[in-house]
Amino acid sequence: FSPGLGLVSAGLVPPPALVDKGSSLSSKIPLSAISQASPSATARVSAWAASASQLGQAQRVTASAVSSFHVIFLIDNSRSMSRADVLGPAGTMLGRSACVFRALDTFADQLTGLSGVECSVVVFSTQARVELDHAAVDASIKGKLEAIRMRTVPRGGGDFAPALRAMHGLCGRGVDIGVLLTDGRPGDGWPTINSTVAAMRRDFGDRCMVHTVGFGPDTGGVHAGKLEHLAQQGGGRFHANAKLDAEALVTTFEHLSAQVSTLRASVLMFGEKALKPLPVKEKEVANAWEGKADDPSSVADRCHGQIMLPPGNDPAGALLPRGPSTEEAWVHRKPFAEGALRYATHLWWKRPHVSGGVSTWHLVVKESKFDGAHDSPQAVHGFFLTNHRR
């Protein structure tokens, strides 16, 4: 979905239905072209539908020059990481450092086999040390991570700036994604830390980003806000794990691997524009959709909607109108939620029955937070299905 003309995943299921790119969906997902119900917007939809046969090649967007996706883990190795106070399986207590490497294994499992994905590891206390430099994420990566775990002994304090400077030195070959994990407050000052991230972004732009992961109670409260600000400055996202729980940390790294995987697919499909963030959107108040099925006009805009599908014998072919259209596709003006890559916005799809009455579907629009994924309806459709099949 994009302003004026775009796409929304429309699952044909009883309302309310949530359709998410993260779900495992059939390859025969109907898609709807949405436009504001104004003469000019409706004309754009009509013109696009009339020339749909010319868009058969649209999903083959100019390939990105980027082919390397480099994940750099900055792992806190301060003395506190030696504590065995993390809740593990069956109520066991595990060491903090061991839990981090256990979570790294999960990350590797999710990304092994994806071409162009590389991994570096930097461990830091008062100084930083590069333990792994641009290693391919293949069948050998877990053995390399285990070797690092075996020779890593937590000691000393925890300064962020040396780790970030080490990351800076590893960047520049493609897309670089830093993940800074810490269980405490930094020993060096925030001005120095923030300026180090700013220097990376100045040198590499949107090709370089930094996520932060807090692990343990010392990363909560005011410190959580500092880690969140650092991630925002680095174009990334803060992941809070104030509770020392091994499975929760594994889940965080699963989310991170999904973000890397989807970002890789987006850049390969849409080019480097997929790295450029769009302006931040204000979210609507909680539960703004409740009680709005009959008349959503106070929170949504009325649009024209048409189900669009490729030919049955050509799944990669041009999208063509399928079935009757509606003049009541109500798209909320503000998203109700956001993830690392997308906004989620409510959509009410109303269509009168020939025999009387109205069908109402409650759907969710997923809108990219980055440029490039709005180039053409065909490109979005192709990416959506390819990402699900993958």
Which of left, alpha, beta for 65 (phi over 0: left; psi -120 to 50: alpha)? alpha
Report the CATH number that the domain containing residue 168 is assigned in CATH. 3.40.50.410
Instruction: Answer yes or no: is 55 within a domain.
Output: no
Instruction: Answer yes or no: is 49 within a domain.
Output: no
Which residues, 6+ apart, have CB-to-CB distance to 3 below 8 Å?
none
* For residue 377, cis peptide bond before it (omega within 30 degrees of 0): no
Among the three residues 266, 295, 330, which one is the final residue of a domain in this structure?
A: 266
What pairs with residue 208 in β-bridges?
176
Q: Is 81 helix (H, G, I), strand (E, B) or coil?
A: helix
Query: What does the pLDDT read at residue 167?
Result: 97
Q: Which amino acid is at 208?
A: C
Q: Are residues 350 and 373 in the same domain?
A: yes
Burial (CB count within 10 angstroms: exposed 0-12, middle 13-18, buried 19+), residue 379: buried
Determine the Cα–Cα distance for residues 19 and 306; give it in Å rounded to an integer.
17
* Domain enclosing residue 226, as ranges: 69-266
CB contact at 8 A, 346 and 300: yes
Among the three residues 266, 286, 316, which one is the final residue of a domain in this structure?
A: 266
Helix orientation angle between 96-111 and 141-151, rounded to the nearest 10 degrees: 170
Q: Are residues 89 and 132 in the same domain?
A: yes
Query: What does the pLDDT read at residue 389?
Result: 59
pLDDT by residue for the chain (390 residues), tens only, comes to 333 323 343 332 223 333 333 332 222 333 333 333 333 333 223 322 333 323 333 333 334 467 789 999 999 999 999 999 999 888 899 999 999 999 999 999 989 988 899 999 999 999 999 999 999 999 999 999 999 999 999 999 999 999 999 999 999 999 999 999 999 889 898 999 999 999 999 999 999 999 999 999 988 888 899 999 999 999 999 999 988 999 999 999 998 998 898 888 888 877 888 888 888 899 999 888 888 888 889 999 999 998 888 888 887 777 889 888 899 999 999 999 987 778 899 999 998 877 888 888 898 888 888 876 666 666 666 677 666 655
Number of domains in the chain: 2
Query: What does the pLDDT read at residue 27?
Result: 28
pTM exceeding 0.85? no
Q: Is 98 helix (H, G, I), strand (E, B) or coil?
A: helix
Q: Are residues 171 and 216 in the same domain?
A: yes
Q: Are residues 195 and 312 in the same domain?
A: no
